[in-house]
């Protein structure tokens, strides 16, 4: 193979690699299977047949998944639950937490993730406030 053929072969392989890594919209709901509120919200969501449900207690999310959620949410703080019992037990309310702290706490224990987290492509809905749930339902209709 001459050098120009090697170059073409490399280009074809590179293009194939890039195409195989193309963005596939995520349709996922991170929830806690034992949480009645999460179950009620999921039951109220229309058109979620193509969504993956991930019970974060049984199947913890990875750092890469958390990074994707961070990119959609804009911050780790937006994903963080101040309602978590551990938040209160550890006295975190009285500390100045950084983005790195929020990230590490969420990775440390699932309870620090505000739930549910509904991801539909580039849209993310975090938590169980009526406003968030209503926005998710409207988006999914």
Q: What is the pLDDT of residues 28-74, one digit of tens each?
A: 999 999 999 999 999 999 999 999 999 999 999 999 999 999 999 99
Domain-by-domain residue ranges, the chain?
Answer: 24-140
Q: What is the pTM of this model?
A: 0.81
Helix 99-108 crosses helix 63-73 at what angle (to 10 degrees)?
140
Topology adopted by domain 24-140: Glutaredoxin (3.40.30)
| Residues 51, 34: Cα–Cα separation, whole Å | 19
For the chain, the C-alpha Rg in angstroms (whole number) is: 19
Q: What is the pLDDT of residues 3-17, one digit of tens each?
A: 444 444 444 444 444
């Amino acid at each position: 193979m001459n050098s120009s053929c090697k170059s073409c072969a490399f280009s074809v392989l590179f293009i194939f690699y890039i195409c195989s890594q193309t963005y596939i919209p995520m349709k996922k709901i991170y929830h806690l299977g034992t949480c009645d509120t999460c179950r009620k919200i999921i039951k109220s969501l229309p058109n979620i047949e193509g969504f993956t449900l991930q019970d974060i207690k049984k199947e913890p999310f990875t750092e890469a998944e958390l990074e994707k959620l961070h990119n959609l949410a804009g911050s780790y703080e937006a994903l963080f639950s101040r309602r978590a019992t551990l938040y209160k037990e550890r006295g975190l309310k009285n500390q100045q937490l950084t983005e790195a702290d929020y990230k590490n706490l969420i990775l440390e224990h699932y309870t620090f993730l505000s739930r549910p987290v509904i991801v539909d492509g580039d849209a993310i809905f975090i938590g169980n406030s009526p406003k968030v749930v209503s926005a998710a339902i409207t988006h999914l209709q």
